Every structure is written in structure tokens, then in C-alpha cells.
Structure 1
Amino acid sequence: MNWPVLQQPQSLAYSDAAQWSSGICDCCDDMRDCCCAFWCCPCFACRTSRQWGQCLCLPLLDAFGCIPPITMSMRVSVRYHYGIQGNLCTDCVFSCCCSPCVWCQISREMKKRKLPAVLGDIIHS
């Protein structure tokens, strides 16, 4: 049975409030995460990826390229999910220059937003 479309999809609108809750260099805002990311970034990235609802070992694929594709895509995913302003160029630069800082920023954002972050298919009943 075909149901009529009652509402058209809306474009993602950004507001002034749609910024990261903390800067890329604000790692000291959460010293526990900062230390974990500094001493064992792969472990921290895997844990953060799992909390976001992705495969636990997904960040380990970053070791196979000069541009860390998983770190960059996770940053883009979080930015898009929460409606945070930004662009792919900035995501790429931050991911290449300081992956631990990116993972810390993602973790802080998830904690501060306290929104469900599990991504996946919509279940139809």
C-alpha cells in the first residue's frame, strides 16, 4: 500500500548555536579522555567508535593511509548528526594533523549532547 507523502524532507538548517561544544584543542576539559587518547589513541578511538554505534575495530583501518579516513568520516558523521557547522576541508585538516584531538572532541560532544547516537536503518513496523 502506498501512503501519501504528508511532509517533504527539510534541509538541515544551521543556527549560531550549531557549533562544537568544545574546541579541537580543549582536550584538558576532560583529563581522563585526554590521557587515554594521548597514551593509547587506537584504544580510545575504538571505544569512542563503539559508543557512537559503529564497529569496535573500525578506527584501526586508519593505519593504512596517510589521510585517516575513519577519523575524518567519524568527525563528519558527528558533525552532521548534531547539525554542527563546518566543512570537509576542516575535518580533513584536523583528522590529519591531530587524530587524538579529534577523537577527544567527538567524545566530549557525545557526552555533552547526551543524545542517542546509534546510527542505522530505520525500523518499519
Structure 2
Amino acid sequence: MYQANPYPPETNAQPPYPPQPYVQPPYAPQPYAQPQYGGPSGGNASGVWSSGLCDCCDDVPNCCITFWCPCITFGRIAEIVDKGSTSCGASGALYALIMYLTGHACVYSCFYRSKLRQQYTLPESPCNDCCVHCCCETCALCQEYRELKSRGFDMSIGWEGNVEKQRREMAMAPMPQGGMTR
């Protein structure tokens, strides 16, 4: 007996073969450029902060350093955000000087939060950058520090140390053997 055609009458065509999974082409080394952290695992590319503003206790040692001497944390953040164009010491000293003279180093540090957000397309949350820094400077610095850490930076070695670390990792990366495979 005749069976009805299970496919829609307007196309009356068979479905294509099952789709094949995408296979990423083999790794090809690229000339070295500035680190695109990310870090080794690709980091947080989703456009959201890796931790909340009030998650300071997620990194207790940094929380303590930031509470007692925020110029150290700020200097480390500034060196990474500026990609080594300013040193940790110079940024930290300027932060300390502004804090000593005006008591409002948050006016300076909020600009670095904005730069960090722009570099990694992070949202301006929970409110604008200046409000975050003026209301809770310590929490803001801790969050920025954790964000850079989650993106693969070793904050204690600075920008040049991270560049050298990435060079070593790229040199040690296994190269695929052979040609095209199926």
C-alpha cells in the first residue's frame, strides 16, 4: 500500500546527511604580540565580572593587603591595565600621594576601573565607576585585582613578568605532528 510522504510537500526533499562536528584546524604558531589575557585557559570572555563587588573574602591575602595598603593593590592593577607603560611602584606612589594630600584617591583609581572595563568589555555595575570607587574603594580594588587574576595574570610579577611567562608557555606548547587528518 502507498505511504504518505513524511516530508513537507513544498520541498519534498530528503533531509541532508547528519551534520558533521566542527573540527578546529591544527594550532599554527603566530608571531608574538602583546599578551591577550585571557591567560592560558582563555579567561573570562563572557563580558561579566568574574566575581562580585563584595566577594573580597574570595582572596583573603589580597583583601588584607588592600585594606591596610591599597596603594600596593592599585599599583599592581595599574601596571597590568596600562600594559607596562607605568610601573607598579610609580602608580602606587602616585595613589599614596593623592591619598595623603586629598584623602580621595578614589578619583584617580576610578579611571583605571573604566580602562579595565573597556579592555575586557565588562559592564558598569553595580553603578558607575566613580561611585563604586568613592563608596567602597577597597572592595572595588579587590574586585579588579581578582578580575585580572581570573584572566590569567600573576599579579605579583607585573606586566613584563607576565609577558615572559606567556612566551615560555607558548614555546613549550606541543606542536601537532603530521598534515591534515580526518
TM-score, structure 1 normalization? 0.67
Gaps in structure 1 of 5+ consecutive residues: 1-16, 119-125
**Cα offset for 1:69?**
2.5
1:48 aligns with 2:77: yes
Relative distance call for 1:34 and 1:65 in structure 2 (3 A) is closer
- 5+ unaligned residues in a row in structure 2: which ranges? 1-45, 160-182
- 2:79 corresponds to which letter in structure 1? R
Shift of 1:99: 1.2
Residue among 72, 77, 90 paired with 1:57: 90
Equivalent residue pairs, number: 102
User: Which residue of structure 2 lines up, in the alignment, with residue 11 of structure 1?
Assistant: none
Q: Distance in 1 between matches of 2:121 and 2:143?
A: 15
1:23 matches 2:52: yes
| Contact 1:68 1:95 (8 Å CA) reproduced | yes
Offset, 1:61? 5.0
Q: Is the 8 A contact 2:117 2:124 kept in 1?
A: yes
AA in 1 matched with 2:57: C
> Structure 1: how far apart are the matches of 2:104 and 2:65?
23
Separation in 2 of the partners of 1:93 and 1:102? 10
Q: 1:86 to 1:25 in 2, by over 3 A?
A: same
Partner amino acid for 2:138?
Answer: P
Q: Of Structure 1 and Structure 2, which has the larger fraction of its residues in helix?
A: 1
Q: Distance in 1 between matches of 2:103 and 2:66?
A: 20
Please tell me whether residue 82 in structure 1 is matched to residue 120 in structure 2.
Answer: yes
Counterparts of 2:51 and 2:133, CA distance in 1 = 16
The percentage of aligned residue pairs carrying the same residue is: 35
Cα shift at 1:60: 2.9
Per-residue Cα deviation, 1:81-105 (whole angstroms, up to 9, x for no partner): 0111227x52111110111111111
Q: Which has the higher Rg, Structure 1 or Structure 2?
A: 2
Amino acid at match of 2:115: S
The residue type equivalent to 1:28 in the other structure is: C
User: How far, CA to CA, are the matches of 2:106 and 2:47 in structure 1?
Assistant: 25
Structure scoring higher RCO (CA < 8 A, sep ≥ 6) equals: 1
Question: Distance between the aligned counterparts of 1:103 and 1:37, measured in 2?
Answer: 7
